């Protein structure tokens, strides 16, 4: 999708600080970090949110979750702990309508975002 910010990042049209990449998944640093360590993990294929996944995409979902381990390790937060979050829909304040996970850590996180 040419108007999707994350699709443009995945295609290389918009630069990002890549942390992890494979054929299906891209992870990069968030430009507006909400914690000392904050990265985003996206599928290269456009999906609006978790609600758009179907059973044929179970492998993609597993790949996104597996990438979280590698991203946390690359950020140096795999042992101290991290939070994995995906906002889905307006009440969750999803601001970019491309499925993504936030990896947050590097400090003691607020218990308000559980």
Confidence of residue 113 (pLDDT cuts 50, 70, 90): low
Please give the model's pTM, rounded to 2 decimal places: 0.94
Q: Which helix (H) or strand (E) holds 9?
A: helix 5-11
| pLDDT at 2 exceeding the cut of 80 | no
Give me the percent of the chain exceeding a pLDDT of 90. Answer: 90
**Cα–Cα dist 45/52, whole Å:** 12
| pLDDT at 111 exceeding the cut of 90 | no
| pLDDT at 114 exceeding the cut of 60 | no
| pLDDT at 1 exceeding the cut of 80 | no
pLDDT tens by residue, 60-86? 999 999 999 999 999 999 999 999 999
Q: Is 46 a catalytic residue?
A: no
User: Which residue in 38, 97, 98, 100 is the catalytic one?
Assistant: 100
Domains in the chain, ordered, with CATH?
5-105 (3.30.428.10)
């Amino acid at each position: 999708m040419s108007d999707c910010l994350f699709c443009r990042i995945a295609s290389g049209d918009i630069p990002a600080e890549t942390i992890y990449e494979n054929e299906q998944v891209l992870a990069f640093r968030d430009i507006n970090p909400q914690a000392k360590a904050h990265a985003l993990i996206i599928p290269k294929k456009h999906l609006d949110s978790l609600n758009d996944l179907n059973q044929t995409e179970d492998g993609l979902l597993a790949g996104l979750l597996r990438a979280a381990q590698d991203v946390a390790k690359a950020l140096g937060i795999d042992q101290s702990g991290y939070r994995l979050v995906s906002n889905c829909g307006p009440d969750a304040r999803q601001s970019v309508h491309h499925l993504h996970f936030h990896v947050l850590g590097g400090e003691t996180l607020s218990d308000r975002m559980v």
